[in-house]
Amino acid sequence: MDFGLTDKIALVAGGASGIGLECAAVLAAEGAAVVIADMDGEAAEKAAEALTGQGHAASHTVVDITDPEAVQAMADQVLGRYGRVDILVNSAGIAGDKLFVDSTLEDWRQEIDVNLIGPMLCTKVIIQNMIERENGRIITVASDSARIGQSRLSYYAAAKAGAIAFFKSLAQEVGRYKITVNVVSPSATNTPLRIEREEGFRRSMGEEAYAERVRKVLRMYPLRRLGEPEDIASAVAFLASQRASWITGQVLSVNGGFTMP
């Protein structure tokens, strides 16, 4: 299926690893010129070089999405080079792993800064360009924990729920400018961060106990597998495409049936 992304300019915040990296790869494969923005400049550069080596159009920039000045500098760089951003993907995120009673105000603020304020800042510096051109796609990666709640992820879920509410509200404000705003909401996905955490569980629990844990987890998914970054990226690419021009203000769970909110 042709998604109509040839020659589109896509900015992927948090695009150097995990879901963001796969989003950049899929968008590039569909013909978009991709800018990978990430706090890890070395990883962002390597990711862009890899895509360029595959014959795609890709570049990179370094940004701390919690820093307003850095985010504005990113926008100035991208808009100065390309003149526009057609697709903004907010995929940067962090997730703590603590019970609420063990967490601190610093933990909460870090999650909110990265998972809510960061996407808001990235959107703020790009959306005026979209309004002026009366065209744009904004897709943000949230989490199903924001929709149903999840133990040990309370303040992460709160930040992601805030992002969902914000982007649904924004969709109502900018629809008149032919800008669509949507959220992709994954469940457990095999990103490098999750794989690293699972290896820790394996070492601490032992092979037999860990294997039983995996079996229990998979029974919670009707499709009997966890997500892969490309599952999420495919949904992002669809929402970025011309095929999704009448979809806005929606939250699309991509979760193997784990939840059906």
Catalytic residues: 156
- Phi and psi at residue 221, to the nearest 5°: -110, 115
Contact 115, 14 (CB under 8 A): no
If one counts every other C-beta atom within 10 angstroms of the C-beta of residue 90, the result is 27
Those residues with Cβ within 8 angstroms of residue 6's Cβ, 6 or more apart along the chain or in another chain: 30, 31, 32
| Angle, CA 122 vertex, CA 132 and CA 236 arms, to 5° | 90
Q: Is 67 exposed, middle or buried (0-12, 13-18, 19+ CB in 10 A)?
A: middle
Q: In terms of DSSP H, where are the helices of 175-221?
A: 192-205, 207-218
Alpha-carbon gap, residue 29 to 9, rounded angstroms: 13
Alpha-carbon gap, residue 188 to 186, rounded angstroms: 7
Lookup: tokens for 234: 């495919």
Residue 29 carries which DSSP code? H
Q: Which position has the token pair 């992601």? A: 160
Contact 34, 20 (CB under 8 A): no
